[in-house]
Each structure stands twice: as structure tokens, then as C-alpha cells.
Structure 1
Amino acid sequence: MKKLDGKIAIVTAASKEIGGSIAKHLATEGAAVVVNYAFSKEAGDRVVDEITSAGGKAIAVQPKKHRSKVFLSRWSRHSAGSTSW
């Protein structure tokens, strides 16, 4: 059994170099990985292909911009000390 078996990892900017490396590492530890990309579906799919060809589980997703803005707004409030989401 691997350290992250049964876990799901959402990796933002996973289509980029550092995020992709993190996503691949988490997959080798057993996590199913959500490869989050902002602009390049091809780059996101490339990371997914690398993970799945090595026996891991992964999907690529692009967040909807309005949802990202809502999340970031809520995260900013939460980080500033607010307890409500």
C-alpha cells in the first residue's frame, strides 16, 4: 500500500513545470490527481498521459473563471481571519 492510496490530490497550475512535477510525485505515492490548468489543455493532458502511462490515475480540468474568482475572494477573506466561507 502506498502512502496516498485512496486520496485525491488537486494540483493547481499542474500543466506547468513545478505543478506537473508535484502532480506526478503525488501520483507515484498513490493519489488520484486532478490536474488543474488555466490555459493549455494540451499541457494538462500531457501531464495526465505521463501519470496514467506510469499506472496512476489522473484527469485534467480547467476551472470556470467565475468560480475561481469566487474561490479566491472567499480564500482571501478566510486568510484574513474570517471564519465564514
Structure 2
Amino acid sequence: MEQFVDIIKDALVVIASFGIIVASYRLWVEKDRKNMIYARIHILGVIDCACFLIFLALGETLLAFVYLILAPFLAHAIAHAAYNDKLPE
């Protein structure tokens, strides 16, 4: 039974990693879209929630809470960089 649980955990990590890679790739490819910054912040929030839940499911509570605390700072950094980029030249 313990081996089955380990297989499920490994599958969960692979699926989450694949989802994060696909989301990151789509953010790099789509550059012409209007208001792309909002899409980037939104996908960061989605990935943040997914990773937090996956880390909790894997029993990595400390890593989950560190990720939950640091991800909003990343969203703020993205928004701040976008705001400062629009300053007049």
C-alpha cells in the first residue's frame, strides 16, 4: 500500500510540473496580447494555489507555506516592473 501512495505522489508531482511548464511557456510566447501583465499575474496566482495544495498533499508543509508567502511578492514585483515600464521616456 505504501508503494501505491508513493506512485500517486510521484504522478501528482509530474502532473503539476507539466502544468507549470505549459503555463510558463504560454506566458513567454504570448507577447502581443493587450494587458498581458494581468494575464501574467493571474497565472502566477493559479500556479501559486496549485503548488501550495500539491506541497500540502505531499506532506511538505514548510515548503508549502514558504511558497505561499513568497509568491505574492513575485506578483508585486511583476506589477511594479510593468508600472515603471510605462513611465515617459
TM over 0.5: no
Please identify the structure whose Cα radius of gyration is greater.
2
Higher relative contact order (CA 8 A, sep 6+): 2
TM-score (norm: length of structure 2):
0.29
